[in-house]
Every structure is written in C-alpha cells, then in structure tokens.
Amino acid sequence: MQQANSEQPQRSTTETLVNVSQNERRLSTLGGALLLLASLQNKRKFRFGIATAGATLLYRGLTGISPIYKLMNKNTAIHSREASISVPHQQGVHVSQSITISCTVEEVYTFWRDFNNLPRFIPQLKTVEVQDNTHSHWKLAGLVGMTIEWDAEIINDEPNSVIGWRSLQNPYVDHAGSVRFKTAPGDQGTEVRVEMEYRPIAGVVGTALAWLAGNAPEEQTYEALQHLKQILEVGEVTTIEGQSSGRAEVKA
Amino acid sequence: MRAVCWNGVEDVRVETVPDPKILNAGDLILKITSTAICGSDLHLYDGYIPTMKPGDILGHEFMGEVVEIGSEVKNLSVGDRVVVPFNIACGKCHYCTHDLWSLCDNSNPNAQLAEKMYGYSPAGLFGYSHLLGGYAGGQAEYVRVPYADVGPLKVPSYLEDDQVLFLTDIFPTGYMAAENANIQPGHIVAVWGCGPVGQFAIQSARLLGAERVIAIDRFPERLKLAQMHGAETINYAQINDVVGALKEMTGGRGPDACIDAVGMESHSAGLTGLFDRVKQNLRLETDRPHALREAIQACRKGGTVSIPGVYAWLLDKVPMGTAFAKGLTFRMGQTHVHNYLKPLLQHIENGDIDPTFVISHRLSLNEAPGAYKMFRDKQDDCIKVVLKP
C-alpha cells in the first residue's frame, strides 16, 4: 500500500475542537444512549428533559466536543503537558520509554538529530529521507510487506535538550513524538526519554495498518532505544539472528 | 558441524548443525579444542531454567583456536589460542567499565524477556537459555564469540588445555565466591557443595588466607578431594544436624563466612527437601534452596553468605528473619569472569593451583549425552567432564 501525501501542514479544524478525553467520550456515549432509551419509555413530564440530556451526552461522546468545556476553557483531551510536541488528543497509542546511554548529551543529541540515522535503530523504519533542516519523508514497514509513508516536520529543536516532530497531514498516519536528553547523575551518561503518539485517523483499521506488524508499541520503542544504546556505546546492534542451532528452520 | 543440542528435559543429543557465521564485525569464530560440562548445565538438563528451546546448542566452558575474525576485531588474529569467559560483555557500557561484566547492559539481545522476570537484564551467556540471550554454546566443534576484543584471553602455548580451560567459568566462580566471602585472617569458611565450584572455592579461600575451611557434601569422593586440599569435611548424609555440627566445630560461634556452592537444586534428605521437590515440580517455586537455608542458619552473627550457586527465580521458606536478626551480608551473582582471567592465569603459571585436579572424565563430544546423565547422577565418581570435539 502506497499512500500519497498531501502537503497540508494544517490540521483540519474539527480535530482542534475536540476537548473531551477518550474515556469520557465512551462514558458519555453509553450514558447518552441509555438516557435516550429511557426517555422513550418514560411517559411522564421529565421525558423531554431526559431526551435532551441524552442527546447532549451522545453528541459529546460521538464528536468529542463539549460546548460546556469550551465555555469553561477546559480540555480533557489534551493530556500532555508538552502539547506542542505531541498529538493533541488523548487518543490512539501513547508510548513513553527511557534509557540511559554512556555517552555525552551532545553525542546522543547529534546522532538523533540526523534523522537519516533513525532506521539504524528503529527496526520497523525502512528509510527516512531528510529533505531540509526540518522536513523528512518516512517509510515504515507495515503489515504483510506493505509500506506506509508520510512526511514529517521537526516542530521543536533545542540542541542537547529536546527534539519534537510530527507527521504532516496524511489520511492514514497521525504521529508525533519527542525525545529529551538529560545528563544522568554520577557520570552515567545521558538519560534519553522518548514520547510518541499514533492516532488512528482511519479508525481501527488505520491503526492496525499504521501500527507496525502488530507488536506491542511499548516494547518496540524500548527495543529501538536499546539498539540506539548499543550503536552509540558499542558500534553494533547485539544479535543472535542467523546463528547455528539444531532447529530445522535454521538447517534448511 | 557437530554440536550438543538440548531437546527437552534429560534429552541432549549430538546433532549435525550449520557451522556458525560471523554476524557482527566484532565477532570471531573459534574452533573448539576443549569444552566442559558445568554443574549449572545440569539445571538445563533437568529443565529448571526457563526459556530453553529444542535445538539450542549447550555449553559455556570452552576454549580453542581462532579461525575467523570480523572486520572490527583488533586484538586477536587467526591462529590465536584463547579461553573465553562464559558471560558475554560489550566492554563499553557503564557496568563493563566498572568491572561488573556479568551485568553488561548490551550483550543480551533478549533483554526485554529478562526484564520481565528480573526487572533488569544481566549479561548474555553462552548456551544458557533465551532469557539470557539465546546464544549458541560451545559444546560443539565451532562457536561464534561476539565482542571478540573484550572477552577472549590468549593463553601461553606451554600450558595444556586442561590447565587453562576452567578459567572460562568454574575457577573464577570459585575464586569470586571466596572473594565475596570477605575472608579475614583467622576466619573459618564453610562451603556447601564439593562439586567443581566448591572445590575451587575451597582452594581460593585458602589462597585468600582462611584459617580453616569446612566442606559439606554427601559424596565420599568429593569430600576426599576437599580433604586433600586442606578442608575439614562434614558428610551430611551421616549426621542429622549440619548447623549443629558447624557450631560445634567453631567453638559455638558459627563460620565467619558461608559459601553456597550448590544453588537451586539442593538435595536434602529431610522433610524440607521433600517439601521443596513437591513445590518445584508443581512449579510453585522454581528453586530448592536447602543449602542456602542452612548457610543462613549456620553463619555467625555479622558474617557473610556468599552465593556462587545458581538461583533462577523464586525461593520459598528462606529464613530472612534469621539473616536480619544476625545482620548478615549477602554477596552473589554471576561471576565477573573478565576480572579474573589474568590474575588467575598468573596463579596457574606460578603453580599456586593446578585446576586439572577436578577432572574425573575426559571424553569425546559424541559421548556428551551419557556424560550429562553420569554427571547428574554422580555415577562413576564423576566430578568434572572435559569433552574433546
């Protein structure tokens, strides 16, 4: 599957209106539906009121938009305290992992800042093509040999401190991530902390497609960090793939 | 090539498998000249170490000749004769650079598996389950050795294989056990288990200045060997109360240090032994810690319990309150073999110790399946088996 990428840096406006968290939306949908059902069976004077409350809740749940929250200037959909560097909804897959690498902050930052290096330690990434200082084109190995592609831009870059990026609009991938670098205490190198979000734009199917070969995102992210550590500390990724054993599949 | 493969509980076979290949630029391929069966291999044989897969090549005590090196290998060349530490260490991470080689951060490609069990992953080991890396072992004609510039040590040609082979594991393991025992002049050290590690711990305790060493086992040939190297002995099969005997032998104080060179498959004739066997077989505990319980009970107040014996995971009825009440110190863990290669080679060259004393059987690689059974069942006075490919 090849996805053409449109060059629209702005997100659609409906997304930015969403201000209700995923859990609240589920509860609202359920509660709204129950109230509407109840109103159909209620012959008394509260019937209209119950129906209105049900419909409001249902709208809130299905759209994720709460006019009351808007009036209160409240937004439970934004979870992260660094909204500028993460997907601005508490939706989809959120991953957060960290590792300590025995290298200076400069070394780790410089290696990561060159996005050409990303496929060296993220096994699922086929290529990342750097286009200019902030833009790059990513190709990811998806399910059963498919490739998922998107354009990304760096939206936050503080040398030796943080790099943040997000995907530019694409119907199948809405991805954002950040990596923070901090000197570890006791001369132990650099603490690297990654946060990433993948939001399912095309629903469950889109998530399944985008979300790699169906493996646990936490573990995949951590594996990538371990590979990064091995490359920076030792110069090679530790492996046993291709070694001898008495198992038939290797003999063949 | 031929290799000893694990195929299930009590099922090891010599099979023909593909020759190993260089997988990373830092690897080398070794043609094995001597390899040994370790007591800890018996935990695999008996099926008590999780994450073994049928077809896994066993063996972590081996030496031989370098036949191929990766493009990044600087310290060794084809033709060098080397011994290889059983644990695999990258040499660059925080742990390796602080001499904690068996805790290497980078050498376990299955680190996430180990982290699920242990919280953090120790170093990868040759031929010792997928939890610890899944590396093919060295009971074979050839083996791939990663981080070739870090682990292998060249050995002088005038020393026989049998004299230096045990630098790979059991000599450093016994030595580190004695070092961990914090031996001071005048100390009395008790050693549970007179297998090869126990034997090296006994000799190392003497080297490190122990006043007396008391060895505990039930096999007369092993006790005799310990006695030959200056240890007093307790045959626990002949007495009821090991702790009481130790108390009596130490003026009522207890040993200053206790070394558990038995580990997770401790034998016990008593009720607790039966209890452990039942629980282990029901998978309610993974380890039978009888020797450890005795060591904790016997140790003097403020003493040290040193544990070179392998424990896999969960132990039951370990008298932690006893350890707490007596203010004991515990030292344990896989051996940091890399630290000991050169100093212990020096001891061998000086003639302070001749490691060949533990060898009871010299067999061919093809005889490995029978050798495992013989070693496990302590038949034919078996103490240590060396295999020649």
Residue of B nearest to A241 (CA): B23
Please give the angle made by the CA atoms of B93, B98 and B101, to the nearest 5 degrees: 70
Of residues B72, B93, B124, nearest to A102 (C-beta) = B93
Q: Which two tokens stand for residue B320?
A: 């932690």
Number of inter-chain CB pairs under 8 A, A vs B: 101
**Residues above pLDDT 90, as percent of chain B:** 90
Residue with tokens 């350890």: B323
Residue with tokens 């495992």: B372
pLDDT at A43: 62
The SS3 call for residue A112 is helix
DSSP, res B356: G
Phi, psi of A35 (to 5 degrees): -65, -40
Rounded to the nearest angstrom, the gap between the alpha carbon of residue B113 and the centroid of all alpha carbons in its chain is 22
Strand partners, B388: B364
Q: Which two tokens stand for residue B345?
A: 């080679």
* Pair type for strands A190-199 and A93-101: antiparallel
pLDDT at A94 over 90: no
Asked if A239's CB is within 8 angstroms of B90's CB, the reply is: no
Residue of A nearest to B135 (CA): A240
Q: Are B175 and B196 in contact (CB under 8 A)?
A: no
* Closest C-alpha to B143, from B236, B23, B46, B252: B23
* Pair type for strands A162-167 and A174-183: antiparallel
Shortest distance between the Cα of A189 and any Cα of chain B, in A, equals 8
Asked if A246's CB is within 8 angstroms of B55's CB, the reply is: yes
Cα B10 from Cα B369, distance rounded (Å): 9
Interface mutation target, options A107, A218, A238, A251, chain B, most CBs of B under 10 Å? A238
Alpha helices per DSSP H over chain A? 13-17, 22-41, 47-63, 67-72, 105-113, 118-121, 203-210, 217-233, 248-251
> Would you call B21 an interface residue with chain A, using a CB distance cutoff of 8 Å?
yes
Shortest distance between the Cα of A212 and any Cα of chain B, in A, equals 19
Shortest distance between the Cα of A160 and any Cα of chain B, in A, equals 21
DSSP, res B18: P
Cα B367 from Cα B61, distance rounded (Å): 17
For the segment B62-77, what is each residue's pLDDT rounded down to a tens digit?
A: 999 999 999 999 999 9
This model of the complex carries an ipTM of: 0.90
User: Stretch A15-24: mean pLDDT, rounded?
Assistant: 60
Cα A20 from Cα A26, distance rounded (Å): 10
Q: Are B356 and B384 in contact (CB under 8 A)?
A: no
Mean pLDDT of chain A: 76
* Closest C-alpha to B146, from B124, B167, B166: B124
Cα B105 from Cα B333, distance rounded (Å): 15
> Would you call B10 an interface residue with chain A, using a CB distance cutoff of 8 Å?
no
Q: Which two tokens stand for residue A212?
A: 């790699």
pLDDT at A146: 72
> Would you call B127 an interface residue with chain A, using a CB distance cutoff of 8 Å?
no
Q: Which two tokens stand for residue B349?
A: 């060259």
From chain B, pick out residues whose CB is under 8 angstroms from the CB of A229: 93, 105-106
For the segment B1-48, what is each residue's pLDDT rounded down to a tens digit?
A: 999 999 999 999 999 999 999 999 999 999 999 999 999 999 999 998
Strand partners, B56: B6
The SS3 call for residue A163 is strand
pLDDT at A56: 74
pLDDT at A29: 64
pLDDT at B285: 74
From chain B, pick out residues whose CB is under 8 angstroms from the CB of A240: 23, 109, 133-136
Of residues A100, A229, A240, nearest to B106 (C-beta) = A229
From chain A, pick out residues whose CB is under 8 angstroms from the CB of B54: 246-247
pLDDT at A206 over 60: no
Q: Are B294 and B247 in contact (CB under 8 A)?
A: no
Q: Which residues contact B146 (CB under 8 A, 6 or more apart)?
A: A238, B23, B24, B26, B27, B88, B107, B135
pLDDT at B251: 97
Phi, psi of B60 (to 5 degrees): -130, 10
Tell whether the torsion through CA atoms of A200, A202, A204 and A208 is positive or negative: negative
Cα A76 from Cα A61, distance rounded (Å): 13
Asked if A102's CB is within 8 angstroms of B97's CB, the reply is: yes
Cα B138 from Cα B62, distance rounded (Å): 6
Cα B74 from Cα B11, distance rounded (Å): 40
Strand partners, B329: B304
For the segment A130-146, what is each residue's pLDDT rounded down to a tens digit?
A: 999 999 999 887 666 67
Q: Which two tokens stand for residue B230?
A: 């200056």
pLDDT at A222 over 60: yes
Strand partners, B143: B30
* Pair type for strands B28-37 and B385-388: antiparallel
pLDDT at B357: 96
Q: Are A208 and A244 in contact (CB under 8 A)?
A: no
Interface mutation target, options B6, B11, B92, B129, chain A, most CBs of A under 10 Å? B92
pLDDT at A84: 37
Q: Which two tokens stand for residue B95?
A: 């742990």
Torsion-angle region of residue B341: left (phi > 0), alpha (psi -120 to 50) or beta? alpha
Cα B191 from Cα B261, distance rounded (Å): 7
Residue with tokens 């961990």: B180
Q: Are B216 and B192 in contact (CB under 8 A)?
A: yes
Q: Which residue has the higher pLDDT, A207 or B180?
A: B180
Q: What is the pTM of this model?
A: 0.82
Rounded to the nearest angstrom, the gap between the alpha carbon of residue B341 and the centroid of all alpha carbons in its chain is 15
Rounded to the nearest angstrom, the gap between the alpha carbon of residue B331 and the centroid of all alpha carbons in its chain is 15
Q: Are B262 and B291 in contact (CB under 8 A)?
A: yes
Rg of the Cα atoms in chain A: 23
Residue with tokens 């078996």: B382
Q: pLDDT tier at A74 (50, 70, 90 boundaries)?
A: low
User: Stretch A158-174: mean pLDDT, rounded?
Assistant: 87
Please give the angle made by the CA atoms of B130, B84 and B57, to the nearest 5 degrees: 35
Of residues A234, A241, A243, nearest to B92 (C-beta) = A234
Q: Which residues contact B359 (CB under 8 A, 6 or more apart)?
A: B162, B383, B384, B385, B386
Shortest distance between the Cα of B136 and any Cα of chain A, in A, equals 7
Ranges of chain B whose pLDDT falls below 70: none
Shortest distance between the Cα of A232 and any Cα of chain B, in A, equals 10
Proportion of chain B in helix, strand, coil states, percent, rounded to 5: 30, 25, 45
Strand partners, B386: B36, B362
Residue with tokens 């000799």: B203
